[in-house]
Amino acid sequence: GDIVSNTSQSDLVPSLASRVKNKLGIKNPSCVAYDILFGCPGWLQGVIQADAFTRAGMAKTCLIIGTEALSRVMDPYDRDSMIYSDGAGAIVTQLSVESNSGILGTNAASFASEDVDYIFMGGSNNAEKNSSANYLKMQGRKVYEFALKNVPIAIKTCLDNSNVNLSEVQKIFIHQANEKMDEAIVKRLFRLYDLPVDTEKVMPMNISMLGNSSVATIPTLFNMVKKGLLENHSLALGDIIVFASVGAGMNINAVCYRV
């Protein structure tokens, strides 16, 4: 959105989706444009909603964009912010009755009790820099413990909804928030199935190159693997993969997909 002079704030109206539709020159009013504020899992939630709308006959073609400018809300005096980055990724989804590929199942959950403010907006860690500006903050340890407890269960529920066993899954595309945390999540997921795991083989990572770009991390990671841009990772027709994310809210979601 447009940036207000001398601040990191963005105009919320018109919606970013409406501005994108305008820039793309899409005239059809039945093409409904709206923003999803769902924290880091926002892009994946868009995929879930596109799947639901398509299956309900409410949509034929959907454009899901995950875009983030965390540089606007990054506190340079907060070490939790050091890995934040800007990024964007998008996909187009369509219903195909002839293809065996596509979304096999999904799962989403929101935890908004004592977990609601684990990620929040607050002042700078440098008291001299504290002003009216708000920065993205987190209770790092609580976020880590929350994710480790809840994300593996959310992924398992998604696989159950898809009638898929974890042993059939080739790759797990998980939100690139923290490599140590993501590794621990995947290991705990495999323990739920009493299966061994080589995280380097099943869990592609690009955080060391692109950082944590919130909603953009999964689509950019998927794009890199699909195009063979990430060493030792590739996809083949028929592969079953999982997308999963966790973030502010606290929100969690997962999608099981056959390539």
The DSSP secondary structure of 76-125, one letter per residue, reads TT-GGGTTB-EEEEEEEEE--SS-S-EEEEEEEEE--STTTTSEEEE--S
Confidence band of 136 (pLDDT split at 50, 70, 90): very high
**Tokens representing residue 185 in the block:** 């999540």
> Region 107-120: what's the mean pLDDT?
95
Between CA 145 and CA 166 the distance in angstroms is 23
Between CA 46 and CA 41 the distance in angstroms is 9
pLDDT score recorded for residue 4? 58
Confidence band of 217 (pLDDT split at 50, 70, 90): very high
pLDDT score recorded for residue 9? 61
167: which residues sit within 8 A by CB, 6+ positions away? 193, 195
> Region 73-99: what's the mean pLDDT?
90
> Region 72-99: what's the mean pLDDT?
90
Q: To the nearest whole percent, how much of the chain has pLDDT over 90?
A: 84
Residue 186 has pLDDT above 90, yes or no: yes
pLDDT score recorded for residue 7? 61
Confidence band of 81 (pLDDT split at 50, 70, 90): confident
pLDDT score recorded for residue 130? 66
Q: In degrees to the nearest 10, what's the CA dihedral of 184, 187, 191, 193? A: 130
24: which residues sit within 8 A by CB, 6+ positions away? none
Lowest average pLDDT, out of 59-63, 94-98, 228-232, 239-243, goes to 94-98
pLDDT score recorded for residue 195? 97
Instruction: Determine the Cα angle at 63 with ends 248 and 97, to 5°.
Output: 115
List helix spans (H) across 29-92: 42-55
Q: To the nearest whole percent, how much of the chain has pLDDT over 70?
A: 94
Longest dimension (CA), the chain: 62
pLDDT score recorded for residue 80? 83
Q: Measured between alpha carbons, how far is residue 118 from residues 3, 39, 146, 249 in Å?
A: 26, 12, 9, 8
pLDDT score recorded for residue 167? 97
**Tokens representing residue 228 in the block:** 């063979």
pLDDT score recorded for residue 8? 60
Lowest average pLDDT, out of 85-89, 132-136, 184-188, goes to 132-136
pLDDT score recorded for residue 224? 97
Question: pLDDT tens digits for 59-77?
Answer: 999 999 999 999 989 998 9
2: DSSP letter: P
pLDDT score recorded for residue 56? 95
pLDDT score recorded for residue 134? 85
> Are 57 and 96 in contact, with CB atoms under 8 Å apart?
no
**Tokens representing residue 55 in the block:** 């299956």
What SS3 state is found at 180?
Answer: helix
Question: pLDDT tens digits for 4-53?
Answer: 555 666 678 899 999 999 999 999 999 999 999 999 999 999 999 999 99
Between CA 116 and CA 249 the distance in angstroms is 5
Which neighbouring-strand residues pair with 241? 171, 257
